[in-house]
Amino acid sequence: MPPVTVFLRHTPGGRGEYSGRTPMTRITDTLALSPIGPMPEDLLDAVAAAVAEAFTCKTVVFPVLDNADFAYHVQRHQYHSTAILDRLAEGAPDHVLKILGLTSVDLFIPILTHVFGEAQLGGKACVVSTCRLLPHAVHLPGSSSYRRLTKEAVHELGHTFDLRHCKDPACVMHFCRSEEDVDRKSDRFCRYCSVLLDDALKALHEAD
Ligand SMILES: [Zn+2]
Ligand SMILES: [Zn+2]
């Protein structure tokens, strides 16, 4: 993918709006970043920039949920990510193509001890957590420290465009069990996944 310039505009309400543009690629649509509870502004900026570049899209910050208490599992002391996805999808405005929840709580699905995030495959919603990827997020100095999170944000959004896990360990769609695995992969789609993503984006354009 060619280099992308990211434009940042702040609206009076304090919500950022970003767009990634290249001369060769049209803006496809808008993706919503949806902080669940307080989230550092530079973290939102970093995720917005990564997402805008990866998907050649605009992003808006659009909170839907104040907290994830409804997804809390008493025995596990964790939060069921699938329940969060359902609420995000319900609350997403019609004009956004996808919605990415950002939370600081520890997420799980029943068959795994924890997940970094979860997505509706080919659907509208995904979520990613800072809990294990950035346990000290509020103390980090700048956006370059957020790369683990931005990779997994792009990864989960990739699933909403129907991308599956990729065998290429450097591809952002590679499945990572540990934080170190996330550090080892890049923030880019491999050639194969790029083609699949372009096809998905084109199909969405044609359906407009
Ligand atoms: Zn995945
Ligand atoms: Zn790939």
Nearest-ligand number for the alpha carbon of 157 = 1
Domain that holds residue 149: 5-207
114 alpha carbon – ligand 1 mean position (Å): 13
86 alpha carbon – ligand 1 mean position (Å): 17
Number of domains in the chain: 1
14 alpha carbon – ligand 1 mean position (Å): 31
Q: Which amino acid is at 55?
A: F
Confirm whether 118 is a catalytic residue: no
User: Which of 73-77, 91-95, 126-130 shows the lowest per-residue confidence on average (mean pLDDT)?
Assistant: 91-95
Q: Identify the DSSP state of 39.
A: -
The residue among 150, 160, 159, 158 whose CA lies nearest residue 183 is 150
pLDDT confidence bin for 135, thresholds 50/70/90: confident
Sheet holding 72-73, edge to edge: 72-73, 78-80, 107-108
Q: Which residues of 167-179 are buried (b: 16+ CB within 10 A; e: fewer)?
A: eeeebbbbebeee
Nearest-ligand number for the alpha carbon of 164 = 1
Residues in the chain, how many?
A: 208
pLDDT confidence bin for 73, thresholds 50/70/90: very high
% of the chain residues with pLDDT over 90: 72
Per DSSP, the three-state class of 63 is coil
From 53, 118, 152, 156, active-site residue? 156
117 alpha carbon – ligand 1 mean position (Å): 8
Residues facing 73 on adjacent strands: 78
- CATH of residue 177: 3.40.390.10
Beta strands in 78-172 (DSSP E): 78-80, 98-103, 107-108, 117-119, 125-129
pLDDT at 79: 98
Calculate the dihedral angle through the C-alpha atoms of 3, 179, 44, 151, rounding to the nearest 10 degrees: 30
